[in-house]
């Protein structure tokens, strides 16, 4: 068993509800500024990126304008996962001017955030290029955008860890203490959900041995030295995958690659992103 590498299940229903909530938050009882424009005025518009990026979020943008006005026409010039250069036109719109301007901010919020996530993931993926290491995300996501950011991580070339608290076990120090030990925690996990991945975080070689003896699928090493990491990898070979968590720069990643670590997980993929600078230009 291993962390998930596939697209997010049930993405579309989650996307629709996320967009509905975002529009309700922004539009409220109505866009009073858009009412300055004649109700039947049509316009065309284009969205431009002001910087190089990896695009992600097309479906969310489409859904914003679909919910506002199904008659609006969008023409995309890129796909999710495409690398685009600064000043590129990402998509064009044609239709009711009020609907375009009402949806502008919400659509761009989704697109700039998810493209920022995908761009950050692409930077991490580039660091791991030429190694066997898989870069994993974490649950450190923007509230309400879990599945969206997980999808963006995939678009950037990295991989998904567990989606939430329901699809895989991650047994950490407090779980171990409360459950009465590593062996008891793993045994209980197997009885609760036999087909779920079981991962255990360990702080010592002795705890690693306990996790291996109890049948953990993945073992996360907490603050291990390179020497202890090498020992852990030797002990775990053919028995469990090894994951390193925390801040890992390019130089450190190369060191871990030489040790043949399986996974590196980083919350930076989703929580340290910088939104991409986008701009909408309208022509009446």
The number of distinct structural domains making up the chain is: 2
Residue at 1 is within a domain: no
Does 158 share its domain with 265? yes
CATH code assigned at 73:
3.90.1170.20
For 219, residues 6+ apart whose C-beta sits below 8 A from its C-beta are 199, 200, 201, 202, 208, 211, 212, 232, 236, 240, 241, 242, 243
Does 112 share its domain with 136? no
Active-site residue identified among 66, 83, 105, 139: 105
Residue 229's domain comprises 126-271
At 146 the pLDDT is: 94
Given a contact cutoff of 8 angstroms between Cβ atoms, the answer to whether 261 and 226 are in contact is no
C-alpha–C-alpha distance, residues 115 and 208, integer Å: 38
Does 136 share its domain with 259? yes
Q: Catalytic annotation on 222?
A: yes
Residue carrying the six token digits 């065309």: 44
Active-site residue identified among 140, 146, 252, 271: 140
pLDDT in tens, 186-236: 999 999 999 999 999 999 999 999 999 999 999 999 888 889 999 999 999
Q: Catalytic annotation on 172?
A: yes
C-alpha–C-alpha distance, residues 210 and 206, integer Å: 6
Active-site residue identified among 172, 209, 252, 271: 172
Give the predicted TM-score (pTM) of the model: 0.93
Ranges 41-45, 55-59, 247-251: which has the least confidence? 247-251
């Amino acid at each position: 068993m291993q962390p998930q590498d596939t697209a997010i299940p049930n993405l579309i229903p989650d996307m629709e509800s996320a967009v509905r909530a975002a529009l309700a938050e922004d539009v409220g009882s109505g866009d009073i500024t858009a009412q300055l424009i004649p109700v039947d005025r049509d316009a065309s518009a284009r969205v431009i990126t002001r910087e190089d990026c990896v695009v992600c979020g097309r479906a969310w943008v489409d859904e914003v304008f679909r919910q506002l006005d199904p008659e609006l026409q969008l023409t995309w010039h890129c796909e999710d996962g495409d690398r685009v250069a600064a000043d590129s036109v990402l998509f064009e719109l044609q239709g009711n001017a009020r609907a375009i301007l009402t949806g502008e901010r919400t659509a761009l919020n989704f697109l700039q955030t998810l493209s920022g996530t995908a761009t950050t993931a692409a930077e991490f993926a580039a660091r791991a290029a030429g190694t066997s290491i898989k870069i994993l995300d974490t649950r450190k996501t923007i509230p309400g955008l879990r599945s969206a950011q997980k999808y963006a991580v995939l678009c950037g070339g990295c991989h998904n860890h567990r989606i939430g608290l329901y699809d895989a076990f991650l047994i950490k120090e407090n779980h171990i203490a409360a459950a009465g030990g590593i062996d008891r925690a793993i045994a209980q996990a197997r009885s609760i959900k036999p087909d779920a991945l079981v991962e255990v975080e360990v702080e010592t070689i002795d705890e690693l041995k306990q996790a291996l003896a109890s049948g953990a699928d993945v073992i996360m090493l907490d603050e291990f030295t390179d020497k202890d990491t090498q020992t852990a990898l030797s002990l775990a070979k053919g028995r469990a995958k090894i994951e390193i968590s925390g801040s890992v720069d390019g130089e450190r990643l190369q060191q871990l690659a030489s040790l043949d670590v399986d996974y590196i997980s980083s919350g930076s993929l989703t929580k340290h992103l910088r939104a991409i600078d986008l701009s909408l230009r309208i022509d009446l």
